[in-house]
Structures are given as structure tokens and as C-alpha cells.
Amino acid sequence: MPLTLVVEDDPTIAEVVTYQLQKYGHQVTVAHDGADALHLARSGNFGLIVLDIMLPGMSGIDVLRVLRRESDVPVIVLSARDADADQVLALELGADDYVTKPFSMRQFLARIAAVSRRSARPEAPAPADLDDYTLVIDERQHEVRRRGEVIALPPKVFEVLCFLARNANRVCARHEVLDAVWGDEYDGQTRTLDVHVHWLRQRIEDDPANPRFVQTVRQYGYRFQPSPEDSTERAIFVTAPVVTAPPAVSRDLVTRGARTLA
């Protein structure tokens, strides 16, 4: 049964969304503000988060920014803010979809189904299958192998590679990668990322000056291509299982302002 977190400060909308999701087999937990949403997200293995933007205290945008540093759980923003700027910001920060209020419940459920299909992860291949790949990025073992040889990467370089590989074939803006890997340490200088990508190419590419896997998109960012065109080389990203640790707060603080609807 899918486990879904609904973050909504309007009790009526929260109740309607919860009722409809339960009809479609979801087990729903509701949070009414951003702080409680983060506590609950960290303490539960949710498969989907429905997130309002205008929340008391911590905004939905801030919640989304923190979530994307810690998790790749699918997030659908459900908000009355319909300006293009709001939608673009949410999507750039990592939201999987954006639905504006008022909304069609039928369309909303269809979007949830689409996001769930896109985010479904295939099972990791057996170790024997990995021998068929030129480049293996193994998040489970925290190592990279090129033609069977382990490649030593500094921690930040490895994190950059994992972020790009997790978003394979998608152009990732520089600020996305910097926010995800450096977080609060990011000082606004994109040169930091460019240097790390240079180091990365030196270690994983046959010809770093003409990279096949980590490609530059001029004036925007980078794209990881696991199956480069006109090449027999292939890369694979083996994800680590998600282990969610409970936050160091009391149970009363975690559940205050939220309720679980069975």
C-alpha cells in the first residue's frame, strides 16, 4: 500500500485529498505546517509527498529545498499560486509536478499515477550483469568502477557523479547540483562545480577533452548520458537502499500538528 504524506494547512482540502487517495489505496499521513512535514518525512518511508506552498512558518518552497538535499521521494506541489515564476521555481528545486488550485481531482489522481510510474525504480542488476558496463557507479558500495577497475574519487566528486547519474539524460542546472551536493556550504560560485566536474572527467572518461558520459550544456549545466550516441560504452547507476533515520526529537514534537488517517 503506497505511503503518502499530504502537507496542507487547509483542513477541508487536506480531508478531500486524503479521502480520494485512500479510495485509491494510499495510506495517508497529514501534516499542517512545514516543520512537521520535515519531521514526518524524515521519520517515515514515504513513496509520495503532496506539498502545499503557502504554509504557516516554514514555506513549502523551503520544505522542498531541504527534502531535495536529503531524499529523492516524488513530490507533487499542490498550490493556489499559479504564477509561472512559482511553478518554475518549484520544478527547478526538484518538484516532480505542479498542480494549481482549484483543481480537478481526476486530473490530480492521473498526475499522481504518472509521477509514480516515472519514479518507479527497476531492481538493481545482479553483480554478474554489472560486468557488461564500461562504467559502474555503485552507491551501495560507495565506489566507481571503470572496466572493472576501482576508480578513487574524492567524496564531493563522487556526490556530483551520483547526482548527475541519478538524473540521467536530464540537463541539470549548475545551481541544482550545487544545492544538492554543497547545500548550505554553497557560496554562490559555480566555478567550484566546474572544477569538480573537470576532476571527474579526468578519472572516468577515456578522453576528458571530449567527454562521453558527463556532457556540458553551455551556459546552463551538465547532463549524464549512460549510453552515449555512436558508442558501445555504457554506464549504470546502482542506487543504495533508502534508510530513513528518525530525527532527534521527542515523539510529541514529531506528531504535534499532524495526524495519521488510516
- Strands, DSSP E only, in the chain? 3-7, 27-31, 48-51, 75-79, 97-100, 135-138, 143-146, 149-151, 172-173, 214-217, 221-224, 235-238, 258-261
pLDDT level of residue 195 (50, 70, 90 thresholds): very high
Given a cut of 60, is residue 165 above it in pLDDT?
Answer: yes
CATH number at residue 63: 3.40.50.2300
- Strands, DSSP E only, in 38-196? 48-51, 75-79, 97-100, 135-138, 143-146, 149-151, 172-173
Joined grid coordinates for residue 210: 571530449
Both 79 and 111 in one domain: the answer is yes
d(CA 226, CA 214): 9
Both 136 and 103 in one domain: the answer is no
Percent helix / strand / coil, the chain, rounded to 5: 40, 20, 40
Q: Which of 83-87, 101-105, 244-248 comes out lowest in average pLDDT? A: 244-248
Average pLDDT over residues 82-107: 89
Nearest to 204, CA basis, from 240, 167, 175, 162:
162
Both 140 and 78 in one domain: the answer is no
Identify the residue with better confidence: 168 or 228.
168
d(CA 61, CA 92): 11
Both 232 and 252 in one domain: the answer is no
Both 189 and 144 in one domain: the answer is yes
d(CA 40, CA 141): 28
Please say whether the beta carbons of 64 and 179 come within 8 A. Answer: no
pTM over 0.75: no
Joined grid coordinates for residue 80: 493556489
The pLDDT assigned to 122 comes to 53
Residue 122's CB is within 10 A of a number of other CB atoms, namely 6
Both 54 and 73 in one domain: the answer is yes
Average pLDDT over residues 156-163: 92
Please say whether the beta carbons of 36 and 63 come within 8 A. Answer: no
Q: Which of 46-50, 106-110, 182-186, 221-225 comes out lowest in average pLDDT? A: 182-186
The pLDDT assigned to 59 comes to 93
Average pLDDT over residues 43-55: 90
Both 183 and 252 in one domain: the answer is no
Residue 185's CB is within 10 A of a number of other CB atoms, namely 9
Both 110 and 7 in one domain: the answer is yes
Given a cut of 70, is residue 105 above it in pLDDT?
Answer: yes
Q: Give me the domain span that covers residue 69.
A: 3-121+244-261
CATH number at residue 198: 1.10.10.10
Question: How many domains does one find in the chain?
Answer: 2
b/e code 57-77 from CB counts within 10 Å (16+ = b): eeebbbbbbbbbeebbbbbbb
Both 74 and 116 in one domain: the answer is yes
The type of residue at 51 is L
Both 201 and 253 in one domain: the answer is no
Both 173 and 99 in one domain: the answer is no
Inter-axis angle of helices 84-92 and 60-70, to 10 degrees? 20
Both 85 and 34 in one domain: the answer is yes
Given a cut of 80, is residue 127 above it in pLDDT?
Answer: no
- What dihedral angle (degrees, nearest 10) is formed by the CA atoms of 97, 99, 104, 106? 10
d(CA 34, CA 51): 9
